[in-house]
Amino acid sequence: MVVQWFAILLIGALVGFLGGLFGKGGSSIATPLLALIGLPPLVAIASPLPATVPGTLVAYRRYRRGGVFDAQVVLWSVAFGVPSTILGAAASQWISGAVLITITDVVLACVGARVLLSAGRGVEQLDPSAPHGRLRLALVGITVGLLAGLLANAGGFLLVPLYLGVLKIPLRPALGSSLAVACALALPGTIVHAGLGQVNWTVAIAFGLASIPLSGLGARTALRMNSVRLERIYGAGLLVLGAVLLVV
């Protein structure tokens, strides 16, 4: 039991750093790792979600101080993502926890491959104020919200690739915007999953205390790194993690 709690703290610290580095809450990475050390599937899925909120806020403040985020993208993503998150979270009670973890692993690997293959490609940025830009913003918010609620994460691991691939915004603003939206989407998801009795608050508190200090460090590291290198590390990390967790 002591070893398991130590592992929870270690995972929390790792996820905090990676969340700040890659512009995401980190619960998508935490879920399969917590399941790997023996936590019940639904506890591993839901408990990291509230724990990632403070660390995500810490990391987001680093980006905001440098003006590295897109306010319009954040507002549209939150407006369409929050109601979709509530729907997805409510639907999670009818799907097996083991199935949800497998889905998380597959999505991690696919997103990682997509980001890795497209890293460094020059693309024309989409105008969010144009009608087609707003439609894409709405679709991104709805898609991420549904999956965030269903998989009990803040959606950050999907937001950055979609911001890069669909909205064509630069990497660092994508990271900063993702952190802001992840905070907003984590709140309704936490409320619904807690109401369903899926959150172990002892695990959530321990995980959160370990993740907060390293979230800011991860954000500072990302702001100093070369954008293309950061994008490749991000994609490769998600691809390897998802693939490994699928076979263990």
CB neighbours of 229 closer than 8 A, spacing ≥ 6?
none
Does the reported pTM lie above 0.85? no
Distance CA 99, CA 56 (A): 27
Residue with tokens 């509530």: 86
The structure tokens listed for 153 are: 């994460």
The number of folded domains in the chain is 1
Give the alpha-carbon dihedral of 231, 60, 46, 91, to 10 degrees: -80
Distance CA 68, CA 63 (A): 5
CB neighbours of 220 closer than 8 A, spacing ≥ 6?
20, 62
The structure tokens listed for 168 are: 């064509």
Identify the helix (H) or strand (E) that includes residue 149: helix 131-150
SS3 assignment, position 5: helix
Domain range for residue 53? Answer: 2-247
- pLDDT by residue, tens only, the chain of 248 residues: 788 889 999 998 888 888 777 766 566 678 888 888 888 887 887 888 888 788 888 888 888 887 777 888 888 888 998 898 888 888 877 877 677 667 767 877 887 787 777 766 554 555 556 656 778 888 888 888 887 777 666 666 677 777 877 777 777 788 888 888 888 888 887 888 788 888 899 988 998 888 888 888 888 887 787 767 777 887 787 788 778 777 76
